[in-house]
Structure 1
Amino acid sequence: MNNPFKGEARLGDVRLKLDVNAVIEVEEETGEGINDVLARASEVGPGQLKAMRFVVWALMRHHRPEATLLHAGEVINAYGPEAVGMALGRVLAAQSDAAQSEAEGDAGNAPAPAPKPPAKKTARRKAG
């Protein structure tokens, strides 16, 4: 079974990973589904920076549990909202691909084929 929370992207040495904890943080804070929030946070426009900063913070915490909202803001300052928005878009795309694979079933986890019956033994004559 695939894990639908597999989205991950990098911004330099900052890794943004969508895991269950990030999903819960974002959904509890916003009251919205993760896909809607990620889509909105990946857009650059008026009023989007707050959502972007919160999502960056939530996604940073898998690899940097000590991260704060201030750290997330510094990431946005360092790389720019456009680059961060593109990284969040990659996270969303990877998460969507994983969810789609989950819905279609994972061929890597298909049932094993039935074992073949044992070969028949033939009697051998003793030489002698």
Structure 2
Amino acid sequence: MANEILGEVDFPVGDKTYRLRLSINQIIQVEDLLGIGIIKIAGMFNDVDSLTAGSVRAVLWGALREHHPEVDIMGAGDIMAEARLQSTIEHVGRALQAAFPTAEGKETPSPKRGRAGNGKRST
């Protein structure tokens, strides 16, 4: 089962479940492959009219790298074909969101303010 705290998303395809995760190294690999930055890539997933099958495949490949390093870019395309495009977009989009949990309007908790001193009250 995927660990959401680590930004993992399970992607069921046929009789297999793939675990997706976009760590910083995978994000950089995807950026290098597509020649654009992650903010623009994430924006494409928010505006599906700007998505291409190639960009979806590239991000899927990147998200598979940690748990399924044996899957190459062509294998990612095969998984995408079996899963169908809409399901792939949904799961890869969730993996992108999980990589940036505060990007969707959730506030980062502010540090708790404590009292100055050694923690003992003076009398």
Normalising to structure 2: TM-score of the pair?
0.69
- Matches of 1:51 and 1:96 in 2, distance apart? 19
Q: Which residue of 1 aligns with 2:3?
A: none
- Matches of 2:48 and 2:119 in 1, distance apart? 59
User: What is the CA deviation profile of residues 49-75 of structure 1, one whole-angstrom value per residue up to 9, with x for unaligned ones?
Assistant: 111111111110011122201220121
> 1:102–1:57: structure 2 CA closer, same or farther, 3 Å change rule?
same
Structure 2 unaligned blocks of 5 or more: 1-5
- Matches of 1:46 and 1:97 in 2, distance apart? 23
> 1:38–1:16: structure 2 CA closer, same or farther, 3 Å change rule?
farther
CA RMSD of aligned residues (A): 3.3
- Matches of 2:103 and 2:45 in 1, distance apart? 20
Paired residues, number: 113
Structure 1 unaligned blocks of 5 or more: 1-5, 121-128
Aligned pairs for 1:68-107 within 5 A? 68-99=72-103, 104-105=108-109, 107=111
Q: Is the 8 A contact 2:10 2:19 kept in 1?
A: yes
Higher alpha-carbon Rg = 1
The amino acid of 2:25's aligned partner reads N
User: What is the CA deviation profile of residues 2-24 of structure 1, one whole-angstrom value per residue up to 9, with x for unaligned ones?
Assistant: xxxx5432211111101011111
- Matches of 1:116 and 1:11 in 2, distance apart? 48
Identity %: 24
Q: Once structures 1 and 2 are overlaid, which stretch shifts more, 18-27 or 35-44?
A: 35-44
Higher relative contact order (CA 8 A, sep 6+): 1
